[in-house]
């Protein structure tokens, strides 16, 4: 069996090296690129192995009560959709998954296409899902004081500074009044900039410009000429401004 696995890994590995642009999302040096390609080949093999895969070892996930209006999931996608997960040192490719914003958990569909499993959170380093890249941040490991809490954050820009979005849903219940109380999922987002080693919560255009005040004049001119608005799409606005700030900063 071990010999068979080695042969399969080798075949997948050399196929990926021949087509190494297939999965690459970031530029790496050759040795790093080969290692990443091999790790992804291993992950693809493990996913195909079903119940033998190290990925499928979390606790069983149960659905919410149908009486709660709305849903708990990222972008309101309730059906399992393929994503890539960097789990415990291996990239797993084309995994059927959900992202529960209320519990802040990654959920995968077991090999039997019925049972749902919550992945061990500390082993999920990052994942790509529905066009977004998410990273797992443990606030206890941060040396500097921050109001950033532990969890998964969408990374919309990563350069000299980094733009992060925390997507969340919680369950709210109406007071009732003349009718019976109702529960529903409430969606909200928080935005952060990582500058140096510190994380800063950003709630407005003014707060962003104040944080980047060394280039405030240039950024104001750029924002006016680009006709972008924080209120329309904060994460996109912050990513564009951050990229321009990096461009004009030595």
DSSP state of 148: P
Q: Lowest-confidence range among 83-92, 137-146, 195-204?
A: 137-146
pLDDT tens readout for residues 2-30: 443 333 344 343 444 344 333 333 333 34
The number of residues in the chain equals: 250
Region 194-220 average pLDDT: 95
Check residues 107 and 146 and name the one with the higher pLDDT. Answer: 107
Could you count the other beta carbons within 10 Å of the beta carbon of residue 228? Answer: 16
Q: For residues 107-136, give the mean pLDDT.
A: 93
Cβ atoms of residues 64 and 27 within 8 Å: no
The helix/strand/coil state of 159 is: coil
Give the C-alpha separation, 172 to 187, whole Å: 10
**Does residue 53 register a pLDDT over 90?**
no
Confidence of residue 231 (pLDDT cuts 50, 70, 90): very high
Which residue did the predictor score with more confidence, 31 or 89? 89
Enumerate the β-bridge partners of residue 60.
117
Q: How many CB atoms lie within 10 A of CB 225?
A: 8
Contact of 97 with 80, CB cutoff 8 Å: yes
Give me the residues paired with residue 133 across strands.
Answer: 128
C-alpha–C-alpha distance, residues 95 and 78, integer Å: 15
3-state secondary structure 175-234: CCCCCCCCEEEEEEEEEEEEECCEEEEECCHHHHHHHCHHHHHHHHHHHHHHCCCCCCCH
Q: Determine the Cα–Cα distance for residues 86 and 89; give it in Å rounded to an integer.
A: 6
Domain boundaries, the chain: 1-48
Locus of tokens 């690459």: 24
- Which residues 6+ apart lie within 8 Å of 183 measured at CB? 65, 67, 68, 69, 171, 172, 173, 174
The CA angle 95-98-101, to the nearest 5 degrees, is: 145
Q: What is the pLDDT of residues 212-225, one digit of tens each?
A: 999 999 999 999 99
Q: Are 97 and 85 in contact (CB under 8 A)?
A: yes
Q: What is the rounded distance in angstroms from the CA atom of residue 170 to the CA atom of residue 185? A: 6
Q: What is the pLDDT of residue 182?
A: 92
């Amino acid at each position: 069996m071990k010999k068979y696995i080695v042969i399969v890994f080798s075949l997948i590995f050399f196929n990926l090296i021949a087509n190494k642009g297939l999965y690459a999302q970031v530029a790496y040096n050759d040795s790093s690129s080969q290692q990443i390609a091999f790790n992804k080949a291993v992950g693809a093999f493990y996913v195909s192995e079903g119940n033998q895969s190290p990925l499928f070892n979390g606790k069983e996930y149960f659905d919410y009560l149908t009486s709660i209006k709305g849903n708990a999931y990222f972008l309101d996608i309730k059906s399992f959709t393929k994503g890539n997960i960097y789990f415990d040192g291996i990239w797993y490719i084309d995994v059927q998954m959900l992202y529960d914003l209320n519990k802040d958990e990654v959920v995968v569909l077991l090999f039997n296409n019925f049972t749902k499993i919550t992945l061990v959170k500390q082993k999920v380093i990052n994942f790509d899902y529905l066009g977004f890249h998410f990273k797992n941040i443990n606030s206890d490991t941060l040396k500097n004081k921050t109001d950033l809490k532990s969890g998964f954050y969408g990374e919309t820009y990563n350069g000299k500074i980094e733009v992060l979005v925390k997507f969340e849903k919680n369950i709210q219940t109406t007071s009732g009044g003349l009718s019976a109380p109702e529960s529903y999922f409430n969606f909200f987002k928080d935005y952060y900039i990582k500058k140096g080693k510190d994380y800063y919560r950003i709630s407005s255009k003014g707060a962003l410009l104040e944080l980047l005040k060394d280039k405030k004049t240039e950024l104001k001119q750029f924002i006016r000429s680009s006709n972008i608005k924080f209120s329309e799409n904060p994460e996109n606005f912050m990513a564009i401004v951050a990229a321009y700030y990096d461009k004009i900063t030595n």
